[in-house]
Amino acid sequence: MKDNKFIINLFSLFNKEDIEYCVLRNYQFLPKHTGGSDIDLWVSTKDVPRLYTILEKVKNETKSHLVSYLIDTHCPKVCYLNEKEGCQIDIFKGNIYYQNNIMISEQSIKTNITYYKDIKILDDCFANIIAFLKEIMNNKRCDDKYITPIYANKDVYKKEYLQAKCPLFSPLFIEKFYDAIQKENLTKHTTILYQLAKKTIIKKSISFNKIRKMKRLFQKPGYVIAVLGTDGSGKSTIINAITPIINEAFHKSVIYNHLRPNVLPELGILLGKKKKTDKTIIVTNPHSQEPSGLIGSIFRWGYYLLDYTLGYMKSVFPQIRTKSKVFIFDRYYYDYYIDQRRSRISLPHWILRLGECLVPTPDIILCLGGDPKKIYSRKPETSLKEVIRQTYVLQEFCHNHRKAIWIDTTTTPQESMNTTMEAIVKMMAHRFEHTKL
């Protein structure tokens, strides 16, 4: 991976300002980049204000922007992005909490800080235990990637070690935890360990945590991006170029959808005319079939409208309202305005407009186009006349929709990508431009 200037500057200032911090895990590629991970960053309570000052300074130095912020009293999540790179940081302030109850004390963290190159990190064996406890407490389960490092060091995890590192947990929990490690059956005992830990840790009401999660519905830390364009306009090229950059800021949380949320199956699959497949089907002749009649078109349109509305509310809305997720739609409902025949419908504009009133609007609509002759030469699947028509309709749509941005993709790929990222960063930055950490 390429060097990440935001991360390099961040850790340089940490060391220069003598911040009391440590990286909890996934530190091997720091300080040049994260290796595709986010940063789990612990900071002492006294240095939290200075941390926020440093983040603001690095943001300005690298011309980055705060593009997502999950407010949390004990562990806020911040995402930064510019046109070339991004970074997500989970900030653990002082004690490590389960909901509103202390799980690992600040003092325990401080006494187990060591070094990796010039980076302050938490001792690996202790970090593995914390990662496991966080997983079972928050998810009531644990992936193998958190368990395997514990088994690899099971000789270290004696009862005395576990009790010393986790003094807030009961002797019964320590006993069960130790036994499960030594017998390498942590997965089997995840539920009982969660229940024992919960009985030990919870001293205060957890209603605070429920209220906090409800508040996230009004934060909207996630985004929806729709990409429109004729065949050959470069939709796949642009999506493939911007996804890795956005993934840096929203740690592996970019979700791709073709055309719609796809909660409902295709009509062909529903009617038994097609077989369901996980592979993306490449359409080489989008106008090979004639549109359905009026009744058939209304049925098709109405069926897929349910996916754009109810399907969206099920699969997209909860994610973007409570988590730092980015949904990228290759085409969207607005494609009906540009190319109805692709979807085998033929309906008056006013019906499509009526449906649009019910469909959730993306945060940004990227309209890709340019010289129709250049676009047609890339992908001559319809006709030059059809490409000219679709380009004109798309330009009109872009001009009249407040969330739409025109991207000329008949320039160089790098210019198109730069213009696209500039538009995305500007849109995301606007939401949090007045946010103070």
Dump pLDDT digits (tens) for 313-367. 999 999 999 999 999 999 999 999 999 988 889 999 999 999 999 999 999 999 9
Query: 265 phi and psi, to 5 degrees?
Result: -70, 160
Residue 227 in this model has a pLDDT that exceeds 60? yes
| Predicted local confidence at residue 99, as pLDDT | 83
Lay out the sheet containing 77-81: strands in order across. 65-70, 77-81, 86-93, 39-43, 21-23, 119-122, 113-116
- Per-residue pLDDT of 250-270, as tens digits, reads 998 999 999 999 999 988 787
Confidence of residue 38 (pLDDT cuts 50, 70, 90): very high
96 and 237 housed in the same domain = no
83, 100, 117 - which closes a domain: 100
In a domain, 14, yes or no: yes
Q: Mean of the pLDDT values across residues 30-54?
A: 95
Determine what percent of the chain is predicted with pLDDT higher than 70.
94
Is residue 34 a part of any domain in this protein? Answer: yes
Does 209 have pLDDT greater than 80? no
In a domain, 134, yes or no: no
CATH code of the domain in which 242 resides: 3.40.50.300
280 in any annotated domain: yes
Between 98 and 277, the higher pLDDT residue: 98
Q: Give residue 211's pLDDT.
A: 57
CA separation for the pair 413, 41 (Å, rounded): 36
Q: Is residue 397 part of a domain?
A: yes
Pick from 27-41, 49-63, 197-211: least confident: 197-211
Boundary-marking domain end, from 69, 100, 131: 100
105 found inside a domain: no
- Domain membership of residue 243 as a residue range: 223-432
Do 229 and 95 share a structural domain? Answer: no
pLDDT at 359: 97
What pLDDT, on a 0 to 100 scale, did the predictor assign at position 152? 95
pLDDT of residue 246: 97
Does residue 379 register a pLDDT over 60? yes
Structure tokens at 312: 């969206």
Given 39, 65, 100, the domain boundary residue is: 100
Tokens of 101: 């109850």
Q: Does 136 score more than 80 pLDDT?
A: yes
Residue 257's SS3 state is: strand
Average pLDDT, the chain: 92
Looking at the fold, whether 239 and 92 belong to one and the same domain comes out as no
Contacts of 329 (CB under 8 A, 6+ apart): 224, 225, 226, 227, 257, 258, 259, 260, 362
SS3 state of residue 25:
coil
Check residue 289 and give its pLDDT.
76
Distance CA 42, CA 95 (A): 9
CATH code of the domain in which 48 resides: 3.30.460
In a domain, 165, yes or no: no
Distance separating alpha carbons of residues 169 and 172, to the nearest angstrom: 8
pLDDT for residue 281: 55
Four-CA torsion 98, 104, 106, 108, nearest 10 degrees: -170
Instruction: Tell me how many domains the chain contains.
Output: 2
pLDDT digits (tens, 9 = 90+) for 275-290: 776 665 555 566 767 7
Residue 422 and residue 282 share a domain: yes
Mean pLDDT of 97-111: 92
Is there a domain that residue 123 lies in?
A: no
